[in-house]
Amino acid sequence: MREFADNTSCARRPLVDALRSALSPMTDLPSIYVFDFDQTITHIHTGGCAMTEDEIGADYIHSNIKGGFVELMECLQQRGDRVYIATYGDDSFGRGFAGATAGHALVQRYMDTVLGTGQQYFVASEDPPGNIIARCSNDGKHYHLECILAREGLDGNDLTVLRRILLIDDDPFNVSYFASRGCMTLVPDSPHDSARMAADPDILRAILDRLRGHAEAKAH
Ligand SMILES: [Mg+2]
């Protein structure tokens, strides 16, 4: 039984190995993936607000998205998993700045650029709620988790529900909060290691390798 696709790069192998122990047992993979935006999906922190045209230009956005993002979203959609982007980048960050793009609009701009205009993966609307949740709640992303549970129609007191939710976030405070609710983290029992792993430039490809390895192993 092979665990990994042949194209797993040597450089990525330690990360994928770490995920193998994190995302196990193999029958218990998450079904709701919650991604932080800045420095988890992006390389460089946007500050939740773009002030210039260059910062929302296609060249910059493509250069600032971590490798494997598009393939990972395609893979998760094919699997039927649910995907969210949960960020502290807030619409209010752009107020008072002419031409600024902030909060929901900034994440939507990134998604439309990398996934294509008219993409069906991410919606930034608040009413009805979409799967881009942008609010500077500074509460460990309690607000974001409640939005996700409400949108999915799930019971936030049901541990079997919560343990199918995985947070990928480079802020240990947020990871710690999700863990306290019973959600999955990249590294069990270590918010700091989970956050460090989420910040890795190869994290998205590593999750993709892990999922492909899972599918391959299942087929054997
Ligand atoms: Mg972040």
Q: Residue 75: what residue type?
A: C
pLDDT at 4: 41
Task: Give backbone dihedrals phi and psi of 35, rounded to 5 degrees, phi first.
Answer: -105, 130
Reported as a single tens digit per residue, the pLDDT across 153-202 is 999 999 999 999 999 999 999 999 999 999 999 998 899 999 999 999 99
pLDDT at 3: 39
Reported as a single tens digit per residue, the pLDDT across 72-128 is 999 999 999 999 999 999 999 999 999 999 999 999 999 999 999 999 999 998 778
CA of 168 to the centre of ligand 1 (A): 9
Averaged confidence pLDDT in the chain: 90
CA of 167 to the centre of ligand 1 (A): 11
Residues at Cβ < 5 Å from ligand 1 ion: 36, 38-39, 170
CATH class of 10-219: alpha beta
Domain boundaries, given as residue ranges, for the chain: 10-219
pLDDT at 15: 82
Q: Strand pairing of 165-168 and 32-35?
A: parallel
In whole angstroms, give the CA distance from residue 47 to residue 198. 17
CA of 135 to the centre of ligand 1 (A): 13
What is residue 15's three-state secondary structure? helix
